[in-house]
Amino acid sequence: MVEIQGMNYLAIVVAWLINCGVGAFWYSPAGFAKEWTKQTKIDIMKIPQQQATKILMSVVASGLVQAVTLAILIRSLGSDTASEGLAAGLLMWFGLVTATTVGVSLYSKRSWKFIGLNSLYFLVVMSANSIIFAVWQ
């Protein structure tokens, strides 16, 4: 049964901020921007400001959708310990995010490095957030 009653909205906001913060680092020059640029042949610093703003807003919005969805799934599964949250998050990451990323990326003629770079970002975010949602109800 999908359980949405009694959601912890503060936990959702914190998880969303973690998603945004990890993403900001992950794809920054201090993180993996150089490798991402090499894999995509897109220099994010050369994207026109208006287009970059639209892209960033869509990423921020999708991060919120992901946080809400993950919170609902963790709650619906009845995960209420850190280990249960982590196990559920890892299962969703592997079975939903990574499986989808592999298929879409290979059809788009992207490399395994590209797949790993993007999939591992979601591993970090979903692991942390699944633990938060399990223990902070």
Start-to-end Cα distance in the chain: 17
Q: What pLDDT, on a 0 to 100 scale, did the predictor assign at position 83? A: 98
The model's pTM is 0.90
- Domain parsing of the chain, residue ranges: 9-135
CA distance 134 to 88: 9
Structure tokens at 110: 């992207």
CA distance 34 to 28: 8
Kindly give the confidence (pLDDT) of every residue in the chain, 137 residues in length, as a single tens digit, with 9 standing for 90 and above. Answer: 666 778 899 999 999 999 999 999 999 999 999 999 999 998 877 889 999 899 999 999 999 999 999 999 999 999 999 999 999 999 999 999 999 999 999 999 999 999 999 999 999 999 999 999 999 98
Q: CB within 8 A of 97, min separation 6: which ones?
A: 119, 122, 126
Structure tokens at 50: 């208006």
